[in-house]
Structure 1
Amino acid sequence: MHQDDPSLPGLPGLPVDVSTFIGRRADRASVRSLLTEARLVTLTGVGGVGKTRLALRVAADVRRAFADGVVFVSLAPHNDPEQIPYAIATSLGMQGRSRRPTTTTLVEYLRSRSTLIVLDNCEHVIDAAAVLADTLIRTCPDLRLLATSREPLRIDGEAIHVVSPLTVPPADTTAPLQQYESVMLFVDRAKAAVAGFNLTVANRESVGQIVTKLEGIPLAIELAAGRLRAMSPEEIARNLTERWELLSRGSRTAPDRQRTMAACIEWSFDLCTPIEQEAWGQLAVFADGFELEGASAVCAQVDLPVADVVTALVDKSILVATPVGPTTRFRMLPPIRHRGISHLRVQGELTAVRRRHRDWCVNLSHQVVDMWMSPRQVDGINQLRREMGNINSCLEFCWTEPGEADHGLAMGAELLEFGLADGALRQGRLWFDRLLARSPSADDLRARALRTAGWWAAMQGDVAHASQLIGQGSDIAAEVGGHTEVLLTQAQAFVAMFSGDVDLAHDKFAEAAAGFREYGDRSQEAHTHALAALNECFRRDIPAALAEHEACLALTEPCGESWYRSYSLWIAGLALWASGKPDEGLALQKASLELRRRTRDPLGIGTSVEAMAWMCVDADPERAARLLGGARAIWDRIETSTEALADLHEFHVGCVTTARGRLGDAAYEAAFEQGRTSNQDALVAEALGHEQATVRKARPAARSAQKASPLTPRERQIAELVASGMGNKDIATTLVISKRTAETHVEHILTKLGFNNRNQITAWVAEQLDSAEH
């Protein structure tokens, strides 16, 4: 699970710790030191040794050093090397609306940003990860990569830190066992498993034997601690001793610790009941975690209630449970998941279980479509977002398994609106290209799939290819007739609008709206009215635009729908503002943004924030500049801007000109930068006027920027650290830079400000902050 980090501009933060982090002080210090000098640091070691937990803890330690945030990217769910750039872009919040290669857009986005990317579990896609990492560190000077892998990436500039097992007590030691990290971990996890567990004189020897036999490997220790619900420490130690040699014979060529880990997982597997073993294997097909609903669908043949089996696997440390909002999400660590997949292969059940996983993904897309015109729409959007790893795994299965392509096309065809709301258009088009090539039949399903593929292409600005795809779909739909033909008429109108043929779009939208009314499709009828309202704005027919908005509202408001309504309100708000009714227009814009805050649609939030800037620039140019900066941060991530639609871009240019003219270049740039680096929740609050001081308070370093300063943002940050009493060594540690680099920055600050000593910097910072407060 990710948590929103208020220090980042609308990006997900690091995964939440669900258990205590134990030890690793020396490792943390060593990795932090390596990050000050190397652009790529790779943590290597056997599976289960704790590479990911260490990487996350170090990332949390150094996050203040990276002005543009720390981002976690899990590569474990991705087996296709082509998905690696998408995985990074998605974690950065980049939505792939551009049709350029993902690696190119990653480089452009990261080139001017100070960011740390944690690239987790690289070993199974090591070549693709190495090539991409090499490209990024060569082209993005302020980027750092912290990778975890069972083997190094082996590229220039890589620093390697081998993650060793936790310290274990020597045999027959009389020293306190609590000083050893492995014992600390076992006791901590034992207390979580059995209330009131403590290390005592009676169990001391057994605990020492357990952690020593397990060689200090954290995952193995956690699995053993999970056994305490059914066994005493003495029984665990005795079973390890009696069974270990047999269990560790699996691979004579594997390193000792790798055999230890495999043996521990095998022992955990053997201690499960047959039903638990079966569920372990079936749940392993989930690529990126699951919830009970998904588990029930995939484990349909398990004899016990799935909730009971899942609980048992959590108790045995096979599954990790994490609260996510109102639900609980379960996941397997990669070594455990691999054991489950191996079990399915041996049983000859892997393909059958993956088909059940596929059916669950397809049914989920049906469910979200069914709930779209309801108050549950937002729940459906959020559930699909949580399941994107599984959806990609399902699509990969449909692409690689003969005869499965149509199932993937069926799911993709239904996700048109979700794709627009979530924005993963480039990745979605990749899957359509692959699956359409696997399924050449000309039928209703193909027509609907071509509709979604063409729509997404138009949204990326690839209008020529969009016209080709929609043309192919329309030819098939003309033969099929019925509702499918209406869907393709609507798509023709959409592409015509993007092509600039607003009159053709007007006629096609009217035809489509009538067709959807005939078939009782209120969802697509509402969608059509919202799009037609935008097209009427482009035709400069404000009354017609408002009439289309009212038609959309009449369908969406009574049932509690949010997404169509938010766009229709945004369009109507612009129409009223442009026609000389600013107060009415502003009220609709606020209503739109409130809905978009619920759906967390970045394109929608960006366009609303832009519109708020345009509307407030005359009365409050500084606030408008902040909002423009916030919108720019969103545009950079989703690879678009107001330039995509010329009529909107005119408003943008006018707003910038007015704000610069009123504020002056220096003050405008300072306010713009404040908005660009604010987090998304603060930005939305600023736009709505709920807490107009929120953006100002989002970053202390930005406050001093309100007054024109000769210092760069990095130099201002270092000046504030000097003012806080830090020496150069402390600054270097805090910002993960070398001491010499810190010294150079301080020298530049003194030169630019005309000062002779650090006390003068301290006084200057205090003066800047005092001016900002007043």
Structure 2
Amino acid sequence: MASNIPEESTSFVGRRAELRRLGSELMQHRLVTLTGPGGVGKTRIAVRAARAAAPRFPDGVRWAPMWPLQGDQLLVATVCDVVGLADHSARMPVAALCDWLVDKHLLLVLDSCEHLVAACRDVVGDLLTAAPGVTVLVTSRQPLDVAGECVTEIGPLPCTGDNDALALLTERAGTAAPDLRLTDPGNAEAADLICRRLEGIPLALELAGAQLAHRPLAQVAERLGSRLDALDGTGMPWTPRHRTLRTAIGWSHELCEPLERLLWARLSVFRGTFDAESAAAVCADGPLTADGVRTALDGLAAKSVLSREGNRFRMLDTLREYGRMWLAELDETAAVADRHAEHFVGFGRRAEIGWLGPDQVAWYGRVDEAYVDLCTALDHLLVSDPARAQDLGAAVVFFWTCCGHLHEARDYLERALAARDDPGPAHTRALWALGVAVLLQGELQTAEALGRQCARAAREAADQDAMLGAGYLIGLTHLMAGRPLTAHTAADQVLGPPPDDPFGSPGQLRCHLVRLFALTALGRFDQARQVATTLRHGCVQRGEYWSRSYTDYQLGLVSLFQHRPEEAADHARAMLAAKRRINDNFGIALGLDLLAAAVAAQGRGAVAAQVYGGGQAIWRTVGHPQRGTPELRAVREQCERRARAAIGDEAYAETFGRATEQNPDVLLARILAGEL
């Protein structure tokens, strides 16, 4: 399991003593919590400490950011995501997580937990009990109060003599004003004054350093001093460090252009990272135009209010809190939340339309990046407009089920349907989407019942798209239950007599896939090969990968049944290449099983054992021992017997067991490189 420690975008200054202490604590304790006020640098220290500790953890370091989460609903899902668990079972998510980590030796970092202390306490307590090889590092403004917790308070940088606070300010000044020399006569005193007035708080120093691009050093020192003095008599119940940081943020806010301040407030609605397009769609209104948003984004990034992460932006929690306060002062909280939700409803619709086109892979990435804000939009719509929540939940279901968010897809769809039970297109779409989610969790009876509800509603509304959705869901349920003839009939009924265009809509293509799967299961191999080849060609022409991978899956099965194992292996590799592009672990597991069967049929027992073992490791990430349509199960068992016979039971078991414990990503890379 590879580590996902965040990359550092700016230089790291000082903290040698803290890092030495933290390194020692991580060797002695299973739960270490870094506490301290906002802006003091807990996250940066945790990044450094995690990177230094990584060699001691065979299963790596997994970094779980808590700052994007508005409540505790997505806490376990976030941790599951970062540790590589894309659970497709109907178990409680925390139980699945504990089972997944029980034999892992890794460092789990929960960053910025102060708003989720109670929920984090419960989850961490469960993990430490269930998974003895897991160590947890937490950053929070307050401890979790878990038994055995080692708490380390992080203070500001020292700001006397040749100090770290001055070193940090010097680094940031060099970026903002390259010609400025803080060590020059006259500058040193002002720089020292800034460090002491800001009490060595790193975020405050970052903001002050960014201002040096626009204002003389002496003016920055003077203005900071006057603001701090003015606050001394306010009587506000702030701790000194909190007051200092809030003052530095407030002064940075004052020095922003008016439209930059307005954008700062409106951007506080975003929980995760965002791109310029989304910022313009949500924040442009009144005096702030779409072009003005793009200009103001650059201005806020230059002033360190925003940080850039590729083509996306991020706002630190402390700065978002300040922006949210001003949004309330402007009385725009509700209006901006409405625009945010409306934007992501449109985003979901565009993603759904793009699913069948050449941008399908890019849309999978974009939906995954926007996951937290899609959840934020759904939370808002569940209260303000449940029908639109149903629509949005249905729009992203095919993305979320591949990206490891199956539990969340089901939860939001169930809540949206419970919030509003009125018949209509959105309600029918949500029924279909919920059926897809529960089917992937293995609940065939529930999925079939939802499919029939969807079919009745579609017939009453004469909604052809909804009929196709119901046909796909019902047909796929019959396939998974081992009833291919019934599945073929269900798909035929909604597709109608030929000829029809398989690529007329996503629903049509999915129903054609059901019919293809049924043909293979019914033993009509020549017809299945012809249909699969035609569908695959159409997918290639359109740049579509999800359906293409399943045509390769069927072509591989047909080749196995017709005793062409080399050809079956080629199709399995093509399936794996497509599934990896959209991060579909369920499909990757199916593809590895197919490839293992194909190489076993070639007499390559050791390779088959290795690939079967890698497939087993992936199956564990989706919470099922092995799944798929029944015809694959029979082929898999037959070919496994061949592999055992080729190399002997003992060698097979040893190779298989070793592969289950190794990183399946490495195996997959070797397969796609043609090494296996």
Query: Normalization by structure 2: what TM-score?
Result: 0.94
In the alignment, which residue of structure 2 is the partner of 1:490? Answer: 472
Q: Which amino acid aligns with 2:307?
A: V
How far 1:337 sits from its partner (Å)?
Answer: 0.7
**How many residues were matched structurally?**
669
Matches of 1:337 and 1:322 in 2, distance apart?
A: 17
In the alignment, which residue of structure 2 is the partner of 1:705? Answer: none
In the alignment, which residue of structure 2 is the partner of 1:637? Answer: 621
| CA 661–61 in structure 1, closer or farther in 2 if over 3 Å, else same | farther
Matches of 1:126 and 1:194 in 2, distance apart?
A: 40
Matches of 2:657 and 2:6 in 1, distance apart?
A: 28
Q: Is the 8 A contact 1:247 1:266 kept in 2?
A: no
Instruction: Tell me, yes or no, if structure 1 residue 54 matches structure 2 residue 45.
Output: yes
How far 1:432 sits from its partner (Å)?
Answer: 0.9
| CA 486–527 in structure 1, closer or farther in 2 if over 3 Å, else same | closer
Q: How does 1:85-484 map to 2 (within 5 A)?
A: 85-169=76-160, 175=161, 177=162, 180-202=163-185, 203-247=187-231, 252-301=236-285, 302-303=288-289, 304-323=291-310, 328-399=311-382, 401=383, 403-483=384-464, 484=466
In the alignment, which residue of structure 2 is the partner of 1:568? Answer: 551
In the alignment, which residue of structure 1 is the partner of 2:481? Answer: 499
How far 1:449 sits from its partner (Å)?
Answer: 0.8
Matches of 2:650 and 2:139 in 1, distance apart?
A: 43
In the alignment, which residue of structure 1 is the partner of 2:670? Answer: 686
Which stretch of structure 1 is more off in the superposition, 369-378 or 66-75?
369-378
Matches of 1:252 and 1:426 in 2, distance apart?
A: 44
How far 1:481 sits from its partner (Å)?
Answer: 1.2
Per the alignment, in what secondary structure is the counterpart of residue 305 of structure 1?
A: helix
Structure 2 unmatched runs, 5+? none
| CA 201–558 in structure 1, closer or farther in 2 if over 3 Å, else same | closer
Matches of 1:159 and 1:458 in 2, distance apart?
A: 44
Instruction: Tell me, yes or no, if structure 1 residue 77 matches structure 2 residue 68.
Output: yes
Identical counterparts, % of pairs: 28
| CA 596–513 in structure 1, closer or farther in 2 if over 3 Å, else same | same
Matches of 1:588 and 1:316 in 2, distance apart?
A: 52
Matches of 2:297 and 2:661 in 1, distance apart?
A: 42
In the alignment, which residue of structure 2 is the partner of 1:512? Answer: 494
Per the alignment, in what secondary structure is the counterpart of residue 115 of structure 2?
A: helix
Matches of 2:638 and 2:231 in 1, distance apart?
A: 73
Per the alignment, in what secondary structure is the counterpart of residue 136 of structure 2?
A: strand
Which stretch of structure 1 is more off in the superposition, 340-349 or 549-558?
549-558
Q: Which amino acid aligns with 2:333?
A: L
Q: Is the 8 A contact 2:451 2:471 kept in 1?
A: no
Q: Is the 8 A contact 1:612 1:687 kept in 2?
A: no
Q: C-alpha offsets along residues 345-389 of structure 1, whole Å, 9 cap, x if unaligned?
A: 121111111111112211111222222222211111111111111
Q: Which amino acid aligns with 1:14?
A: I
Cα RMSD, aligned residues only:
2.1
In the alignment, which residue of structure 1 is the partner of 2:533? Answer: 550
- Given candidates 57, 62, 66, the residue that maps to 1:66 is 57
Q: Is the 8 A contact 1:85 1:103 kept in 2?
A: yes
Matches of 2:655 and 2:49 in 1, distance apart?
A: 32
How far 1:420 sits from its partner (Å)?
Answer: 3.3
| CA 655–166 in structure 1, closer or farther in 2 if over 3 Å, else same | farther
Matches of 1:657 and 1:168 in 2, distance apart?
A: 70
Q: Is the 8 A contact 1:296 1:306 kept in 2?
A: yes
Per the alignment, in what secondary structure is the counterpart of residue 496 of structure 2?
A: helix
Which stretch of structure 1 is more off in the superposition, 113-122 or 601-610?
601-610
Matches of 1:686 and 1:608 in 2, distance apart?
A: 14
Q: Which amino acid aligns with 1:312?
A: G
How far 1:502 sits from its partner (Å)?
Answer: 2.1
Structure 1 unmatched runs, 5+? 1-7, 170-174, 693-774
How far 1:651 sits from its partner (Å)?
Answer: 3.5
| CA 455–406 in structure 1, closer or farther in 2 if over 3 Å, else same | same
Matches of 1:465 and 1:389 in 2, distance apart?
A: 28
How far 1:276 sits from its partner (Å)?
Answer: 0.6
Q: Which amino acid aligns with 1:155?
A: V
How far 1:555 sits from its partner (Å)?
Answer: 3.2
Q: Is the 8 A contact 2:617 2:664 kept in 1?
A: no
Matches of 2:608 and 2:639 in 1, distance apart?
A: 8
Q: Which amino acid aligns with 1:108?
A: D
| CA 570–247 in structure 1, closer or farther in 2 if over 3 Å, else same | farther
Q: Is the 8 A contact 1:115 1:144 kept in 2?
A: yes
Q: C-alpha offsets along residues 260-307 of structure 1, whole Å, 9 cap, x if unaligned?
A: 111211111111122111100111111111011111101221145322
In the alignment, which residue of structure 2 is the partner of 1:762? Answer: none
How far 1:647 sits from its partner (Å)?
Answer: 3.3
